[in-house]
């Protein structure tokens, strides 16, 4: 079994991502914070970790970019999940009985239309989507529900009263699988795509055209980039580290030349991982999208 650290309660989207990436070998272990999950892998208590890195509505998970830079770990896989929100209640509860709903503020914000259309339901914030399902099951009341992924309903034996209650269905989260470099070869990652992706972080000296010249190393070789992110450098106000997702393999000679070219220009360059990339759009949670918004009350 592969011990995979993730942040959140049982039934979190990150746990579903761990099972998708590691298959039957997955032994997902909940952690309280992103810091704790990175520490667990750094000290060897866990084999790997699952970090949400980007959501198509909320954007980058900035904290996890910082943790990738501060720890000497490597990215070994990637997947994306469709984030469908559902109204979930204890078994036997009917939609018309629900008077209060709990969820994480980000999930509640993504379901505004549904909540406005159901003003008889009070809205209450909770620290976690899956955690709010756990709580309403423990409370066992017939007037409480939670908003979370379908997977959380399965984990806690709860019932889905309404599916796909989110405003925007184009809601996906991308997750990275991260391990110690020495453990990478022993972890079998479910193949997503035959194509590779390389993630790097670099710093360039401030000045006109600095980022432009850094990107030239890739553009002049027709190498495609799928993402750029910048994060502040501690102690150097208004200066940034740049993270790039490069579509390609560090074994390709064009990528090797581009990285050598970037090293000439940059203060520092580090490869954070080279891994099989996720299928362009994994929409497993959206499989039965025709039933979206359907009430089962």
Report in angstroms the alpha-carbon separations of 171 from 89, 262, 272. 23, 34, 26
CA angle 34, 36, 37 (to 5 degrees): 65
Residue among 183 and 221 whose Cβ is closer to a copy of itself: 221
| Nearest CB to a copy of itself, comparing residues 22 and 223 | 223
Q: How far is the CB of 222 from a copy of itself (least distance, A)?
A: 5
For a copy of itself, which is the closer residue by CB, 96 or 284? Answer: 284
* 38 is an active site residue: no
CA 141-145-146 angle, 5° bins = 135
Q: Which of 151, 175, 202, 242 is catalytic?
A: 175
Strand partners, 185: none
- Rg of the chain on CA atoms, in Å: 21
Q: Is 292 exposed, middle or buried (0-12, 13-18, 19+ CB in 10 A)?
A: middle
Between residues 59 and 92, which has the closer beta carbon with respect to a copy of itself? 59
Nearer to a copy of itself, 15 or 54 (CB): 54
Selecting among 173, 199, 218, 242, the annotated active-site residue is 173
Cα–Cα distances in angstroms (integers) from residue 73 to residues 45, 70, 180, 222, 238, in the given order: 14, 9, 5, 29, 26
Q: Say how many C-beta atoms besides its own lie within 10 A of residue 146's C-beta.
A: 32
Rounded least distance, CB 291 to a copy of itself, Å = 21
How near is the Cβ of 208 to a copy of itself at its closest, in Å? 4
* H or E segment and range at residue 274: strand 268-276
Q: What is residue 160's three-state secondary structure?
A: strand
Q: Encode 52-86: b = buried (16+ Cβ within 10 Å), e = exposed.
A: bbbbeeeebbebbbbbbeebebbbbbbbbbbbbbb
Task: Give the footprint of a copy of itself on this chain (CB under 8 A).
Answer: 54-60, 62, 168, 170, 172, 174, 207-209, 211-213, 215-216, 218-219, 222-232, 234-238, 240, 281
Residue 175 annotated in active site: yes
CA angle 263, 269, 273 (to 5 degrees): 125
Least distance in angstroms from the C-beta of 235 to a copy of itself: 5
Minimum distance of a copy of itself from residue 60's CB (angstroms): 8
Output the smallest distance, CB 171 to a copy of itself, in A: 9
- Identity of the residue, 228 or 251, whose beta carbon is nearer to a copy of itself in the bound complex: 228
The pair phi, psi for residue 200, each rounded to 5°, is -130, 160
Positions annotated as catalytic residues are: 173, 175
């Amino acid at each position: 079994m592969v011990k995979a650290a993730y942040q959140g309660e049982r039934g979190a989207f990150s746990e579903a991502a761990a099972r998708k990436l590691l298959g039957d070998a997955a032994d997902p272990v909940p952690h309280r914070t992103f810091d704790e999950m990175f520490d667990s892998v750094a000290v060897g208590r866990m084999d790997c970790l699952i970090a949400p890195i980007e959501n198509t509505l909320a954007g980058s998970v900035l904290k996890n970019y910082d943790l990738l830079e501060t720890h000497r770990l490597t990215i070994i896989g990637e997947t994306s999940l469709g984030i469908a929100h559902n109204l979930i209640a204890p078994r036997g509860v009917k939609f018309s009985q629900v008077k209060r709903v709990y969820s994480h503020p980000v999930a509640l914000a993504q379901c505004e239309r549904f909540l406005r259309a159901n003003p008889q339901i009070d809205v209450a914030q909770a620290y976690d989507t899956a955690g709010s399902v756990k709580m309403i099951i423990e409370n066992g009341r017939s007037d409480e529900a939670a908003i979370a992924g379908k997977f959380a309903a399965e984990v806690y034996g709860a019932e889905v009263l309404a599916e796909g209650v989110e405003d925007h269905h184009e809601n996906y989260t991308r997750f990275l699988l991260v391990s110690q470099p020495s453990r990478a070869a022993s972890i079998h990652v479910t193949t997503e795509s035959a194509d590779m992706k390389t993630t790097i972080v670099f710093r360039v000296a401030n000045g006109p055209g600095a980022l432009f010249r850094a990107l030239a190393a890739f553009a002049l070789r027709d190498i495609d980039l799928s993402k750029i992110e910048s994060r502040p450098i501690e102690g150097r106000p208004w200066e940034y580290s740049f993270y790039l997702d490069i579509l390609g393999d560090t074994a390709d000679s064009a990528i090797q030349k581009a990285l050598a070219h970037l090293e000439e220009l940059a203060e520092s360059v580090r490869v954070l991982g080279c891994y099989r990339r996720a299928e362009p759009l994994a929409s497993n949670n959206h499989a039965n999208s025709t039933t979206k918004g359907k009430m089962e009350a």
